Amino acid sequence: MNKQKNIIFDLGGVLLGLDGERCMQAFDALGCERVSEYVRLHLTTDLFYDIEVGRISTAEFCAEVRRIAGCTAADADIVAAWNALLTEVSDARCAKLRELHGQGYRLFLLSNTNDMHWQRTLQLVPRAMALFTDVFLSYKMHLSKPDVRIFQEVLRQAQLNPAETLFIDDNADNCSAAASLGITTYQNHHINDWLHEDSLF
């Protein structure tokens, strides 16, 4: 019998589609080619890291984009370009979340994200977000995966037993950090893989 009672989902690459090419094209169209390089190389230092852990505001992020790229794009256009990274939560993924919720699993979300992406996510899938018992976001917690402290905080705040908890993420380091605390993990290599792993649930 499956001992899992709680499922912690990552957002990007597990529930929400990501389109780096579309995001780069949007930044290029603004004359922000240097920022496109950040996206292409998946850089998680300085600019993207600072907004991800809430060190800087959206306005400060936009100002830094202009400084790095030497462009004059408006804040709203920069936010739109950055949000072009996000695609959709498919009907199949939403249906699976509803199914798991209906089966009595407690669903949680743990995402390395920022206020811009989160507000866009709420626009894309407001009903799906309502299925989660609680949501943990890096920019609000001032911590990010794979720092083990963010997992410790989730376990503490949600009062979860790690032995009864499954974590689904597309990043191996994030899974390793969670596993070090006794959480069962599943690395999602392709966005819909977890939908077909019936042994997980």
pLDDT tens digits, one per residue of 71-119: 999 999 999 999 999 998 888 999 999 999 999 999 999 999 999 999 9
User: For residue 184, is it left (φ>0), alpha (ψ between -120 and 50) or beta?
Assistant: beta
Q: Which long-range contacts (CB under 8 A, 24 or more apart) does 49-55 make?
A: 49/144, 51/114, 51/115, 51/116, 51/139, 52/112, 52/113, 52/114, 52/138, 52/139, 52/144, 53/138, 53/139, 53/141, 53/142, 53/143, 53/144, 54/114, 54/138, 54/139, 54/140, 54/141, 54/142, 55/142
pTM of the model: 0.94
pLDDT-derived band at 1 (thresholds 50, 70, 90) equals very low
Amino acid at 53: V
Rounded CA-CA distance 59/12 in Å is 23
Q: Rounded CA gap, 16 and 2, in Å?
A: 26
Within a 10 A sphere around the Cβ of 159, how many other Cβ atoms? Answer: 7
Q: For the segment 139-170, what is each residue's pLDDT rounded down to a tens digit?
A: 999 999 999 999 999 999 999 999 999 999 99
Select from 16, 120, 12, 115 the least CA-distant residue to 57. 115
Res 10: pLDDT: 98
